[in-house]
Structure 1
Amino acid sequence: MTEQPTRMVVVGASLAGLNAARALRDQGHAGPITLIGEEPHAPYDRPPLSKGFLVSGADHTSLALADTAVLGLTELYGRRAVHLDTGERTVHLDDGGTVPYDGLVIATGAGARSWPGPLPATGVHTLRTLDDATALRRDLGTGPRRVLVAGGGFIGSEAAATGAELGHDVTLAIRGPAPLHQVLGEDAASFLSDLHHTAGVSVRPFTTLTGLQGGRRVTSVTLDGAHHVNADTVLLALGAVPHTDWLTASGLRLDAGLVTDAHTRAVGTDGRPHPTVVAAGDVTRFPHPHASGLLSLGHWSNAVEQARIAARTLLHPRAPSVYRPVASFWSTQYGVRFRAVGLPREADEAITREYDIGRRRLDVAYYRGGRLVGALTANRAAHIARYREQLARDLETPVEARSA
């Protein structure tokens, strides 16, 4: 291939997709760029969907990420990629059209895990897209509701907090002992549970949603196959599924996502990185020095940073950069600003340095093998900056020195 591919195609009008297109322009690509998105909307900001957007009366324009006109893109929205032919370097679309490329960025993200059984006609929601959030906001705005949130991850926990702040009767059903326990550990999860309890949310630990009842509208749910809880609004926050179905016959390696190498290049089923295909955002699984296996990061910062490296890799394939981020994410619940860096879920030890539920302050450091791999704070922004610096220094240290 040439050093500078001519026709660039980005599949996924997501935060990662938009930032890949912007990075291509910023890094000097003057040729055509086509941005393909399954949703009918231009790229928008997703974190507010489970928080501020549910509360405000703002329309979708408040979530717009940027004016794409300045980037000179060919924008194809409401068009879904259904097949990738890496041999012919062609993306096939659901309307029968095809889009050829010299360089391809895959940024198709992830969707909500679906419910396996029948659903009542109304009142049951997922929360991954703007249309999802609009429907849920409309539902929550029709008066006091009995809300059941199934799933204690970030989306479930944030939506439960927002529902409580709106005055609804909220039940949060989670499989583990506390919200985000698997991701953040015992103390941080306990801190978050205390916030929910104080706000009046009924947290149901070690509980699985097993049934949904109702005809035109949901009326109740079944938990653990036996316990019935009245609910007229249900949010299914059961996790995410990477959008890789269109890649099944592409010759690229799929393993709970699209596998990339350390330079963001898509890895083929033969184990070799593909020279003309890169990926960024929630759809990816990639190696990282602080991870015990391939890593998937569904965070805003990852989408932005990975997209920048992916663009550089396409434009400079003979000298690709290494993607080795200090992961970061945040969450606001009940006015408490949680911030985290690194990979807390990779830890084998968590040391709590501050736990003050009264003042709503928290500071937890996470270690694996005695080495810092992550940190979480609540209302302690200055602390998180120091942790970030330490993690960045460790990632810059040669592997041999780190393992010595």
Structure 2
Amino acid sequence: MTSAATNRIAVVGTGLAGLSAAERLRELGWRGEITMIGEEPHRPYNRTPLSKQLLTGDRQPPDLALVTHTELDASWRLGTRALGLDIDRRELLLPGGEQLPFDGLVIASGVEARHLPGTPLHSDRVWMLRTLADARNIDAALARARHVAVIGGGFIGCEIACTARTRALDVTIIDVRPTLLHRSLGPALGAVVGDLHRDHGVRLHLGVGVSGWSQDSSGVTVMLEDGETVRADAAVVGVGTMPRTDWLWHTGLDVTDGVLCAPTTHVVGADGYAIDGIVAAGDVARWPNLRFDDTPRRVEHWINAIEMGRHAADALLQGPQDAAPFTPVPRFWSHQHGVRIQSAGMPGLGTDMTILDGDPAKRRMVAGYTRPGPDGAPVLVGAVALDSPRTLSDYHDRIGHPLASIPRDHRAA
């Protein structure tokens, strides 16, 4: 960082990425002020159990609190929404006209649930899940329900469906894509997950969108584009997220699908150069992971939030010229109907899917996702495992490198 006017680093966002950045700053010896600014009234908590253990009763809200192993000695501004940023003056605009000066800034404002057009607003029967308050409302809705409709076949939707089945509810998943987890796993493995859900009593309406809604005193009806209707006591909409960048719209920054960053996680200014003293981390950040290519992308995973928050803290103190690029192997996991799904790398970049080990029919396998390298040889860009954690670890260090041999009889589109 180039200035020392306030001796303050501000962190906008009190989720996992922001907390990880703050903890790393203290580990690195930063002795100035750290101001944590978060819109929610709660101290940082783990969002991962919101769609699972919290709704099954296995975890309670106090169990979700995130802890640090280093004393933060931070100033907390909870229940405070950042309203704007003046890059030249190094000031944040906060409610009430407050202008908070800073030397360094970590943008970790995260994402919000994407609204499906036409979905009823302010309904006590239709919910979206992003916050602890959302989870509490959904828990209360499920307690009154016998049948729940889940709109969205991504990880959140699938995990909520699993949780609802654990609570002995009838469940229907609706998704416009032809298979569950289509973007994350592709059609072949997505079909395997779809069969898993069907085997556990989940009804699926796939490849069809929602055309309308109606509500009455006894429930909600979801009308589908193919003319079918789904009647339920409650509905949960999980159709993705949108980066929380509205407070940055007038800064000149590129906030197209997140805050554009250089490979180091420094925010890219309107002139196309990395800004000294301002970094971004977590779900809101879009950066080129040079392990794969130079295309900026966002990664919305728990482990990435931790690793990127810590790297952003390093980069903030080192400056754009000296900081290393952030080149992780993204990883995530999910438990669905007793099957552990794990991913490493970026399977969505693959043009081919290959069964590297095991048998999809037995739901114990590892699939590799490849794309042609400069010489045409397949490069491993991701791997997904079903109940095969040890085998998946064998491929972790090979991601981003050519795959020496592919069993062509196992190749799938």
Alpha-carbon spacing, 1:93–1:179, altered in 2? closer, same or farther (3 Å): same
Deviation string 1:129-180 (CA, Å, 9 cap, x unpaired) is 11111111111123x4211111111111111111112111100001111101
User: SS of the residue aligned with 2:256?
Assistant: coil
Contact 2:23 2:68 in 1 (8 A): no
2:153 is the counterpart of 1:152: yes
User: SS of the residue aligned with 2:177?
Assistant: coil
Equivalent residue, structure 2, for 1:390: 398
Deviation string 1:5-28 (CA, Å, 9 cap, x unpaired) is 821000001100000000100111
Q: Which residues of 2 match residues 1-20 of structure 1 at below 5 A?
A: 1-2=1-2, 6-20=7-21
Equivalent residue, structure 2, for 1:293: 295
User: SS of the residue aligned with 1:70?
Assistant: coil
Equivalent residue, structure 1, for 2:76: 75
Deviation at residue 362 of structure 1 after TM alignment: 2.3
Between the aligned partners of 2:281 and 2:244, the Cα distance in structure 1 is 12
Tell which deviates more after alignment, 74-83 or 346-355: 346-355
2:351 is the counterpart of 1:348: yes
2:283 is the counterpart of 1:282: yes
Contact 1:10 1:21 in 2 (8 A): yes
Between the aligned partners of 1:366 and 1:356, the Cα distance in structure 2 is 16
Tell which deviates more after alignment, 291-300 or 355-364: 355-364
Q: Which residues of 2 match residues 2-401 of structure 1 at below 5 A?
A: 2=2, 6-56=7-57, 58-66=59-67, 70-117=71-118, 118-119=120-121, 121-142=123-144, 144-215=145-216, 218-224=219-225, 226-289=227-290, 290-291=292-293, 293-317=295-319, 318-354=321-357, 356=359, 359-369=362-372, 370-391=378-399
Runs of 5+ unmatched residues, structure 1: 395-404
Deviation at residue 338 of structure 1 after TM alignment: 0.9
Deviation string 1:18-58 (CA, Å, 9 cap, x unpaired) is 00000100111011000000011111111111111110164
Between the aligned partners of 1:116 and 1:180, the Cα distance in structure 2 is 21
Equivalent residue, structure 2, for 1:400: none
Deviation string 1:231-266 (CA, Å, 9 cap, x unpaired) is 111111111000000000112211211000000000
Between the aligned partners of 2:123 and 2:114, the Cα distance in structure 1 is 18
Contact 1:291 1:343 in 2 (8 A): no
User: SS of the residue aligned with 2:370?
Assistant: strand
Alpha-carbon spacing, 1:393–1:146, altered in 2? closer, same or farther (3 Å): same
TM-score (norm 1): 0.93
Aligned residue pair count: 393
Contact 1:266 1:277 in 2 (8 A): yes
Equivalent residue, structure 2, for 1:397: none
TM-score (norm 2): 0.91
Between the aligned partners of 1:363 and 1:269, the Cα distance in structure 2 is 43
Equivalent residue, structure 1, for 2:406: none
Q: Which amino acid is the alignment partner of residue 126 of structure 1?
A: M
Alpha-carbon spacing, 1:291–1:23, altered in 2? closer, same or farther (3 Å): same
Between the aligned partners of 2:219 and 2:257, the Cα distance in structure 1 is 32
Runs of 4+ aligned residues of structure 1 deviating over 6 Å after TM superposition are none
RMSD: 2.0
Deviation at residue 59 of structure 1 after TM alignment: 2.7
